[in-house]
A and B are shown apart, each in its own frame.
Chain A
Amino acid sequence: MYLDMHSHSVSSDDSRATVEQYVKWIQVLRKRGHQVDGIVLTEHRKFDFDKDYSALADQYNVLIIKGSELDTRYGHFLVYGVSQGLTRAIDFADTRMDARALMQAARQHDAIALPAHPGRFGIGLTDYIAQGETFEDVEIVERFNGGSRQGENERADELCESHNLLGIGGSDAHLTSHIGTCMTNFKAGIKNANDLVDALLSKEFQPVWLEDTLDGSSQA
């Protein structure tokens, strides 16, 4: 199944798209022959415990999972499987947290944290690795990012190849029409955030571009 692993709704300060606009736009993509099964809302520096999108998910037949995108001193990290325990262990608003501590805390709380857009110039993980930092717990990175400028996804490709890392894809949408531009094709069926963490741990997934999903052709 195809999930967009990285998106921002108006709950993030720099997005102008509502969740309803995203799921409506997915109907447009489906009419064009694309397969989009779900999205993960990765709001900046927070987790929206109080938001319930289940009615929208049912109405539009789109899986909606909540996650987070956190700022760290080593770039942005996507977090899946967020729980009350994790938010007590980690200050999600701390923009200078150590990403290594975040990754370890996430696993202790049955979640997973991984680098977003690692090829991004200036703030991507590749730059910190080039400076001599090491990240032994990183096994998966966001290899395809829909908001990347020229050269950034290529740097993520090189990182995956050189460090034998797995990759996911996410649109990084902040606008309605950008949802689904990159996704991740999972072999497993996923119904909630816990399933998503298990699917990531299974390592049976690959990043895809929207064009790869035409006519609903699934490679998994």
Chain B
Amino acid sequence: MPYYDEIELGDEIGPVEKVATDDDVVNFCDIWGAPKPNRFTDADTAAKSGMKGTIVPGIMTMAMMAQLLTDWGGPGSLKDLDLVFRQPVPHNRPLTMAATITDLREEDGQNLVECDILMTGTEGERYIGGKAIVALEGR
């Protein structure tokens, strides 16, 4: 895990590319307990909601973006994640997640790293964007 003292403004976290497959979404919805049918796993329900196809649940994409940060900062390091869902996220397409560090500060005895975080598609679609705060240990 990185130490707070090693981090500089503008440092990048990622990018990491993932695909949320149909099976991934079905498994997530089963564990989550999503009522069926739903727009995440059922094409007809998605069409009735005005979607072009089934979509990845927002809470699942949020988990994927959180994982980018906890894989980097370690378990328990993520203090805040504030996202704006700009477009529906499709199944079975490469999704790129990356973060850029925009602020470093010490607050209430913690070393806080603030970053912009983005999930994009292969053609530059900005599906989700927001900011996050991660706490890191100092040396």
Contacts and interface: CB of A to CB of B under 8 A. Distances in A.
A128 interface: no
Interface of B: 9-10, 82, 84, 86, 100, 102-103, 116, 118, 121, 123-126, 129-131
Given A16-B82, A24-B103, A28-B10, A175 B123 contact: no
A149 B126 contact: yes
Contacts, number: 44
B26 to A, nearest CB: 28
Contact of B116 (A24, A148, A177): A177
A66 interface: no
A178 B116 contact: yes
Interface of A: 14-17, 21, 24-25, 28, 32, 147-151, 174-178
Contacts of B126: 147, 149
Contacts of A32: 10
B27 to A, nearest CB: 29
Contacts of A28: 9-10
Given A149-B125, A149-B126, A177 B100 contact: yes
Contacts of B82: 16
The 8 closest A-B pairs by CB, nearest first: A150-B123, A175-B116, A149-B124, A177-B100, A176-B102, A16-B131, A177-B116, A150-B124
13 contacts: A16-B82, A16-B129, A16-B130, A17-B116, A21-B103, A24-B103, A148-B124, A149-B121, A149-B126, A174-B84, A175-B130, A177-B10, A178-B116
A130 B116 CA distance: 36
Contacts of A175: 116, 118, 129-131
Contacts of B124: 148-150
Contacts of B123: 149-151
Nearest to B122: A150
Contact of B131 (A14, A150, A176): A176
Contact of B102 (A150, A174, A177): A177
Given A15-B84, A149-B124, A176-B131, 12 more contacts: A16-B82, A16-B84, A16-B130, A16-B131, A149-B123, A174-B129, A175-B118, A175-B129, A175-B130, A176-B103, A176-B116, A178-B116
A25 B84 contact: no
